Copies of this chain bind each other. A is one copy, B any other.
Amino acid sequence: MANDELRSLICDLAKSFYDLGWVSGTGGGICIRDGEHVVIAPSGVQKERMRPEQMFTIALDGAIVSRPADPALHPSECSSLFLKAINLRNAGAVIHSHSIHAVAATLLFETEFSISHLEMIKGIQGMSYHDTLVVPIIDNTARECDLAGALEDAILRYPAAHAVLVRRHGVYVWGDDWVRAKTHAECYEYLFRAAVEMRRMGISTRFEGA
């Protein structure tokens, strides 16, 4: 996909993430890898009203390769976090969501979110129905960039996970390309919500037999 198309795609995806409640209040974000570069949205803008010419392109070490003409724009504060998933997991795209279901999950689970025996688990690469899906939860920090160390640590300690939850904040999700990253984001979102609903109904999220 040409860099031009990637920029449009990011705007299109961000609009649909806004409709899902993942990036309201200018929060959250997305980046897509383009070879040795990464196309990434600016920080602190309305995610549902972005335009392709507002995107940044950065190198895999975070250096800015190209930037929008508007001098008021800065690359997403998530950049260093997005690059962790890209460099440590070879991710082709990373999505950061402030979903209220993800935040609720971080309030109901301690250091790991875990759930099993839900069909939607199969939407996560490498997982089957009977597997226990685990997502590490790291504590939030005052500044987003200060999350980088804990995020890297969680990524390394949980090689089967394609996401890291941040307590009282949201979730980072990735995949081999933008389609898989988005599919993962939808599946994790569903599973976080399912877990919250199950707890509310008094049903254990730990499977105890058919």
Interface residues of A (CB under 8 A from B): 24-27, 46, 98, 100, 103-104, 107-108, 117-120, 123, 128-130, 139-142, 166-170, 179, 182-184, 186-187, 189-190, 193-194, 196-201, 203, 210
Contact = CB atoms under 8 A, between A and B. Distances in A.
A142 B128 contact: yes
A206 to B, nearest CB: 13
A42 to B, nearest CB: 13
Given A200-B200, A210-B167, A120 B25 contact: yes
A183 B142 contact: no
A25 B187 contact: yes
A48 to B, nearest CB: 9
B199 A100 contact: no
A184 B198 CA distance: 26
A182 B200 CA distance: 30
Contacts of A100: 190, 193-194, 197
A107 B168 contact: no
